[in-house]
């Protein structure tokens, strides 16, 4: 309209029918403005029928402009844009239909002009060529559009599959017992899975922090960068005394690549080593215990018969009592060894610790004479763990037996305090068995979990050893400590209730 009104193309636009050209341009412009308003109000999502109508109006307008401008205008090539748009936005049949309509209108305009005036065969040939181009344009753009749609669908499927694999990998890594931390060249953490956060008390919102907050890793990482082939030793965390081993690996073969840090809880490693040790010694200890048990029974029986003899004097009777008492002690040791060598595979269950401890308290007090006083103190609510309940019962029974025995010797009280809660940093549940005894001396701490070590002449020295073995089988940790008021305490740190294995 602008070019026509200022006569920029006076010999090209509207040369045959100026009034028709101007009116067509004005009406077409008004319709385009209304179309923009319509598309804007419909969020630019028209239906197929509406798109076809808009393109059909374009074809009509362009053919009228061709007729008004004569042979030399070249406006017919604008139809290629409309037909190409149809090939992109409409389905194949409708796109071909619009190309056919445009070709028919172009041919009809040429024939009409030939009837009205003298027209050379050149215009008819140009009209036929343009009609053929319109069909080719519709087909080519429709083919390209289908290829693009297919490629887009394939890309969407691959994106969805990749996202699924990423979610799956995150679930696997997140639920692994091995802690995994990824750091960049500047020692900034890029990723830390759930196990690593528990071990090093990394909060979810602090997943990108400097390793200066984890000095145990920072020191070992500096050593590994200087000596890549060195083997990392076991280190003890300052907060909860958990022993871990740290290994490093580069994600790529250059110095600036990200670094993978694997943190393995030594409790799991110790458990596997202990299982190998028990497997090799189990049959041997069981056979020895059986062989000792038979002559021991004969000795004990002979001592009992000797005690019943009327001719035995007082001194000999005392000797038979010593034989009987030590036979009972040796028999208790044999029973513990047999129980240890024939220990069944751990069958972990998810337990509500508070409810389970109440049931344990009732069973334990009912089975032990003297009415022991067991008090349960809960430091948190909703405390859960994953452990074999029968083996946990055996561990606590051993600890309570020891506590009651030493407490009775020290102050004459059968009192045990069982404190249960959740560790602040590692979020692991714990049970503390606190007694009134004198406790373990500092120079004895390294030996209390060794087999046959005891300060009680009547004890077997296997109670704490068996308890430690059962803890390792359940990925738990048993250690001796003292409370804030210096009372004797055995602290049992249990596994998280969401652990995957076992």
Mean pLDDT lowest among 122-136, 256-270, 455-469: 455-469
**Last residue of some domain: 240, 265, 290?**
265
- The arithmetic mean of pLDDT across residues 139-160, rounded, is 90
Whether 24 and 147 share a structural domain = yes
Does the residue 213 lie in any domain? Answer: yes
- Choosing from 233, 265, 297, the residue where a domain stops is 265
What whole-number distance in Å separates Cα of residue 283 and Cα of residue 387? 26
Q: State whether 375 and 437 are in the same domain.
A: yes
| Confidence band, pLDDT 50/70/90 cuts, at residue 420 | very high
Residues 8 and 103 reside in one and the same domain: yes
- Is residue 379 situated within a structural domain? yes
Instruction: Report if residue 73 sits inside a domain.
Output: yes
Number of structural domains (the chain) is 3
DSSP 370: T
Q: What distance in Å separates the CA atoms of residue 328 and residue 464, rounded to the nearest whole number? A: 20
Confidence check: pLDDT of 258 > 90: no
- Rounded to an integer, the average pLDDT of 148-162 is 91
Same domain, 363 and 402: yes
Alpha-carbon span 328 to 349, nearest angstrom = 35
Model pLDDT, residue 153 = 92
Regarding whether 205 and 127 lie in a shared domain, the answer is: no
pLDDT at 237 over 90: no
Co-location of 63 and 207 in the same domain: no
The residue-averaged pLDDT of 132-158 equals: 90
Among 114-118, 216-220, 381-385, the minimum mean pLDDT is found in 114-118
352: enclosing H helix or E strand: strand 349-352
CATH number at residue 242: 3.30.450.20
Q: Is the pLDDT score of 502 beyond 50?
A: no
pLDDT tens-digit profile of 200-210? 766 655 555 56
Residues 147, 200, single domain; the answer is no
pLDDT of res. 109: 85
The length of the chain, given as a count of residues: 502
**Which long-range contacts does 246-251 make (Cβ < 8 Å, 24+ apart)?**
246/216, 246/217, 246/220, 248/220, 248/221, 248/224, 251/182
Whether residue 203 lies inside any domain: the answer is yes
On whether both 247 and 381 belong to a single domain, the answer is no
Domain membership flag for residue 312? no
Mean pLDDT (whole number) for 117-146? 82
Mean pLDDT of all residues in 371-385: 87
Pair (246, 380) in one structural domain: no
Do 130 and 200 belong to one domain?
Answer: no
Are 357 and 412 contained in the same domain? yes
Asked if residue 34 has pLDDT above 60, the reply is yes
- Give per-residue pLDDT as tens, 447-481: 787 776 777 666 666 778 888 888 888 888 888 88
* CATH classification at residue 353: 3.30.565.10
Q: Is residue 70 part of a domain?
A: yes
pLDDT at 268: 65
Per the domain annotation, does 172 fall within a domain?
Answer: no
Give pairs for 21-26: CB < 8 Å, separation 24+: 21/64, 21/65, 21/68, 21/69, 24/61, 24/64, 24/65, 24/68, 25/1, 25/65, 26/1
- Across the range 138-164, mean pLDDT stands at 90
Which among 425, 412, 417 has a CA at the least distance from the CA of 484? 417
Whether residue 136 is predicted with pLDDT greater than 50 in this model: the reply is yes
Q: pLDDT grade, residue 501 (50/70/90)? A: very low
Question: Residues 365-376: what's their mean pLDDT?
Answer: 80
Sign of CA dihedral 331, 332, 334, 339: positive
Residue 186's pLDDT band (cuts 50, 70, 90):
confident
Residue 305 has what pLDDT?
83
Task: With cut-offs at 50, 70 and 90, classify the pLDDT of residue 240.
Answer: low
| β strands within 226-306, DSSP E | 234-236, 243-250, 259-265
Residue in this structure with the two tokens 């400097």, named with its chain if needed: 210
Looking at the domain assignment, is residue 80 inside a domain?
yes
Mean pLDDT of 97-113: 88
Q: Is the pTM of this model over 0.75?
A: no
Residues 46 and 81 occupy one common structural domain: yes
Q: How confident is the model at residue 267 (pLDDT cuts 50, 70, 90)?
A: low
- The chain-wide mean pLDDT, for the chain, equals 81
Range of the domain at 49: 2-153
Cβ partners under 8 Å of residue 341, min gap 6: 278, 281, 282, 283, 285, 286, 289
Share of the chain above pLDDT 90, in %: 16
Per-residue pLDDT tens over the stretch 10-24: 678 888 888 999 899
Q: Give the tens place of pLDDT for each residue, 63-83.
A: 999 888 876 678 888 999 999
Of the residues 265, 291, 314, the one at which a domain ends: 265
């Amino acid at each position: 309209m602008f070019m026509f009104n200022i006569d920029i193309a006076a010999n090209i636009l509207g040369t045959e029918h100026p009034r028709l050209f101007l009116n067509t341009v004005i009406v077409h412009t008004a319709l385009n403005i209304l179309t923009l308003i319509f598309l804007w109000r419909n969020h630019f999502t028209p239906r197929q029928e509406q798109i076809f109508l808009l393109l059909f109006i374009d074809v009509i307008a362009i053919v009228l402009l061709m007729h008004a401008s004569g042979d030399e205008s070249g406006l017919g090539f604008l139809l290629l844009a409309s037909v190409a748009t149809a090939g992109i936005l409409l389905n194949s049949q409708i796109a071909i239909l619009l190309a056919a309509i445009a070709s028919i209108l172009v041919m009809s305009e040429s024939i009409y002009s030939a009837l009205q005036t003298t027209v050379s065969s050149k215009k008819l040939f140009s009209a036929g060529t343009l009609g053929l181009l319109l069909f080719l344009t519709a087909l080519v753009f429709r083919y390209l559009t289908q290829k693009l749609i297919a490629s887009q669908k394939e890309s969407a499927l691959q994106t969805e599959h990749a996202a699924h694999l990423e979610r799956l990998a995150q679930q696997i890594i997140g639920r692994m017992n091995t802690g995994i931390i990824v750091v960049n060249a500047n020692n900034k953490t890029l990723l830390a899975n759930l196990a690593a956060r528990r071990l090093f008390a990394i909060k979810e919102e602090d997943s990108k922090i400097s390793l200066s907050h984890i000095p145990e890793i920072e020191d070992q990482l500096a050593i590994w960068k200087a000596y890549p082939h060195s083997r990392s030793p076991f280190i003890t965390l300052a907060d909860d005394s958990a022993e871990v081993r740290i290994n490093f690996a580069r994600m790529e073969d250059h110095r600036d690549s990200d670094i993978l840090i694997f943190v393995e809880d030594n409790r799991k490693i110790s458990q596997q080593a202990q299982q190998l040790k028990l497997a090799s010694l189990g049959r041997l200890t069981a056979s020895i215990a059986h062989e000792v048990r038979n002559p021991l029974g004969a000795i004990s029986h002979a001592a009992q018969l000797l005690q019943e003899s009327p001719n035995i004097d007082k001194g000999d009777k005392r000797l038979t009592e010593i034989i009987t008492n030590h036979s009972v002690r040796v028999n208790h040791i044999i029973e513990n060894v047999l129980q240890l060598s024939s220990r069944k595979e751990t069958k972990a269950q998810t337990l509500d610790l508070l409810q389970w401890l109440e049931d344990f308290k009732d069973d334990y007090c009912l089975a032990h004479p003297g009415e022991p006083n067991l008090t349960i103190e809960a430091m948190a609510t909703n405390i859960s763990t994953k452990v074999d309940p029968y083996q946990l019962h055996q561990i606590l029974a051993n600890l309570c037996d020891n506590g009651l025995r030493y407490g009775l010797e020290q102050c004459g009280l059968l009192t045990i305090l069982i404190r249960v809660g959740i560790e602040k940093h590692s979020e692991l549940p714990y049970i503390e068995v606190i007694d009134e005894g004198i406790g373990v001396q500092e120079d004895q701490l390294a030996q209390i979990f060794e087999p046959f070590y005891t300060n009680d002449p009547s004890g077997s020295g296997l109670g704490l050893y068996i308890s430690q073995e059962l803890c390792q089988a359940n990925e738990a940790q048993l250690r001796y400590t003292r409370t804030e008021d210096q009372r004797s305490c055995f602290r049992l740190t249990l596994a998280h209730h969401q652990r995957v294995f076992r």
